[in-house]
Structure 1
Amino acid sequence: MPDSTTPLRCLVVDDDPLSIQIVETCIANTSFLTSIGNCESAVAAAEVLRTQPVDLLFLDVEMPLMSGLDLLATLENPPLVILITSSKSYAVEAFEYDVLDYVVKPISYARFLKAAQKALEATESSTTAPTDTIQAAQNPQFTFVKVENRLVKVLFDDVRYVEALGDYVHIVTGTSKLIVYSTMRAAEEKFPTSLFARVHRSFIVNLKRVQSIEDNTILIGSKHIPIGQTYQREVFQRLNKF
């Protein structure tokens, strides 16, 4: 990430050449931005992101072969992202990927500039953030999950366990059960390994909530959770170190 005096390196990704031209024109008229190029597919953009430094991604959602959101799902360390799309229907899902802004076409320069200024502010705050703020960002205390059409904040300390049921996972806290359309793999990625462990193909547990283990069964509250054979060694190692 550049400092606040260096223009943000931007990549534009859209399958519509006219949209690319409009965004490129906006970038050219914004002093703190510079374009490193554009791509007409998410597949091509993935290669650029792999080989070149990019600070800010202007990304369309609906593209053939791979959507913009699919692209974000493949990135381990994505740049700052501003989604530019013709539909409002992806807004909730988009913010699960921590995008900075969501701009609906047709694009005006005023709306573009407002979104770009968010990127500039994010860059400036990251270069001046105190150590404790940086540590907090690296060790978050919560996540957001999508429940129907809402994003719900989940505090890690409140979670007892996560259970897979068909195409859904149930996130169980001391006071509630959230039903989330998700795979266990995706759920596992949301919960930090410093606190949570996969103990069975259908269960993730909060290690702090484990009360006892007997006959390869974990007790959390009144819930008896089996430890899968393939997970036993790692689980017992984790608990011994916890």
Structure 2
Amino acid sequence: MPAPSSPLRCLVVDDDPLSVQIVINCINNTPFLTAIGTYDSAMAAAEVLRTEPVDLLFLDVEMPLMSGIDLLNTLQNPPLVILITSSKHYAVEAFEHDVVDYLVKPISYARFLKAAQKALELSADASLSAAASASAGAIAAGTDPDFTFVKVDTKLVKVLFNDVSYVEALGDYVHIVMPHSKLIVYSTMKAVEEKFPSSIFVRAHRSFIVNLKRVQAIEDNTITIENKQIPIGQTYLREVLQRLNKF
């Protein structure tokens, strides 16, 4: 993926000076990132995050007085977040808070770069989504408003939009899930958003797009569709609620 016209502005929040220096070195060696500051406590960083433009936050989980997770809970519109942790058991909490990735100390540059590239792709996706919303959610040119075709192995398969319950991203593939069947497609969520009409579909999480017609219930930031519990990412919650209220 090409680098953006301007690098992603990164803030590092960690009480471990060695970890901070490693992350800063990684940022300085990554052309599409730029460091705009470091803080050794979540409380010190909180006000900056509310008032200054930050694209990507590298956030330590375990800090005194206020943890990284506590800080995320105070932010209404958090930037993209990569958690830094000494323990892998924070993976579930990372998923619930819709973070880009989490890095386990000690951090290698190869692993750092993989997480940073995810953030770059998601930043590009967000820009494209905003542009799509501004153009009234038009469907890609040449696409019938009721269906599209997706490539499954060597076949082109017709997909009726009304039949789709939700789409889930899994690695380099997406699962297009219908009540009695599922298609596994080599694709990105960005490509799905471009093909699927925003009049009935909404991004609920970095890993999920849902059909508003299929939503059965919403509770505790979770959508239920045909007994599937789908998390709502914090950055998508307001849009999902607004769309459901208008639907």
Task: Place the TM-score, normalised by the shorter chain, in its bin.
Answer: 0.5 to 0.7
Aligned residue runs from structure 1 range 68-217, under 5 A: 68-129=68-129, 131-132=131-132, 141=202, 143=204, 157-161=213-217, 176=227, 192-195=241-244
1:15-34 correspondence to structure 2 within 5 Å: 15-34=15-34
Q: 2: distance between equivalents of 1:170 and 1:55?
A: 26
- The offset of 1:132, in angstroms, is 4.2
Contact persistence 1:13–1:42 (CA under 8 A):
yes
The corresponding residue for 2:58 is: 58
Query: Based on CA coordinates, which of the two structures has the bigger radius of gyration?
Result: 1
Helix, strand or coil at the partner of 1:89: helix
In 1, the alpha carbon distance for the partners of 2:67 and 2:6 equals 30
Superposition deviation, residue 162 in structure 1 = 6.1
TM-score by length of 1: 0.59
Match of residue 67 from structure 1 = 67
Q: Which amino acid aligns with 2:10?
A: C
1:16–1:122: structure 2 CA closer, same or farther, 3 Å change rule?
Answer: same
CA gap of 1:169–1:80, structure 2 versus 1, over 3 A, is: closer
- Contact 1:4–1:123 under 8 Å retained in 2: no
1:106 shift after superposition: 0.6
Q: Give, in whole Å, the separation in 1 of the partners of 2:213 and 2:241.
A: 11
Unpaired stretches in structure 2, ≥5 consecutive residues: 138-192, 232-236
Matched residue count: 178
Question: 1:195 Cα deviation (Å)?
Answer: 3.2
TM-score relative to the length of structure 2: 0.58
- Gapped regions of structure 1 (runs ≥ 5): 145-150, 181-187, 197-206, 209-242
Aligned partner of residue 36 in structure 1, secondary structure:
strand
Kindly indicate whether the alpha-carbon contact (under 8 Å) linking 1:141 and 1:155 is maintained by their aligned counterparts in 2: yes
In the alignment, the residues of structure 2 paired with residue 105 and residue 55 of structure 1 have an alpha-carbon distance, to the nearest angstrom, of 22
Q: Percent identity?
A: 58
- Contact 1:8/1:56 (8 A) holds in 2: yes
